[in-house]
Structure 1
């Protein structure tokens, strides 16, 4: 359970940094926008992203496996951008959360989010490894 929480926090921090770096990706907090609301919004969006990526993302990767081989994995950029757009759509249904300005902003945001999450994961690998 604690590994899940650490991964959730890593994804939330990576999402926060992505919104600072990529102009077309932003997060709209719920409520009056105080610090607690902003943190909870990032955690909620990171949770939605984890569920979408874990369930739908894995299903797409299994079904589209021949396309991954054919394109040497470049289709993953498109799939990850679409998954980020899906997270933005789901969070818009609840009235707050992730906003992506377009498909290519989604692709760029997914690339930056993946790189930042990977880098934070490398730095915190001893912490994540100890929580098993």
Structure 2
């Protein structure tokens, strides 16, 4: 769990550095705080939002999940002072890129989704 937090923080820092127009992370502690809150939001809030919007997700063949991920990222941005997402469309782009970078880092380190 702690390794996953570190990997997500590194992913946030990488995405912020490579794509500065999408999001801004102020330092390592901002990245760690954002990764921690993102884990909480994705564990506690996101499942409820996915359940409530299931008909819309089905109608859009799952594409609405991109919107949900972007909204979760914006929520984290609103909660964590050292983390800022520039806007809604940037949140969509950032959530896609973060998923890719986090997955790549997890596969390089050898962590699994469930662990």
When normalised by structure 1's length, the TM-score is: 0.78
4+ residue segments displaced more than 4 Å: none
Aligned residue in 2 for 1:73: 62
Q: Number of residue pairs matched? A: 112
- TM-score under structure 2 normalisation? 0.88
In our comparison, the structure showing a higher alpha carbon Rg is 1
CA RMSD across the alignment: 1.4
> Could you give the per-residue CA deviations for residues 45-94 of structure 1, whole angstroms, max 9, x where no partner exists?
10011111111111111222222221111001111111111101011xxx
**Quick one: distance in 2 between partners of 1:101 and 1:78?**
15
Aligned to 2:9: 12
Q: 2:94 aligns with which of 109, 114, 122?
A: 109
Shift in Å at residue 17 of structure 1?
1.0
Secondary structure at the residue paired with 2:61?
coil
Deviations 1:1-45 (A, max 9, x none): xxx1011011101111110122131012xxxxxxxxx22221111
DSSP 3-state at the match of 1:85: helix
Confirm whether residue 119 of structure 1 aligns to residue 104 of structure 2.
yes
- How far apart are 1:102 and its partner, in Å? 0.9
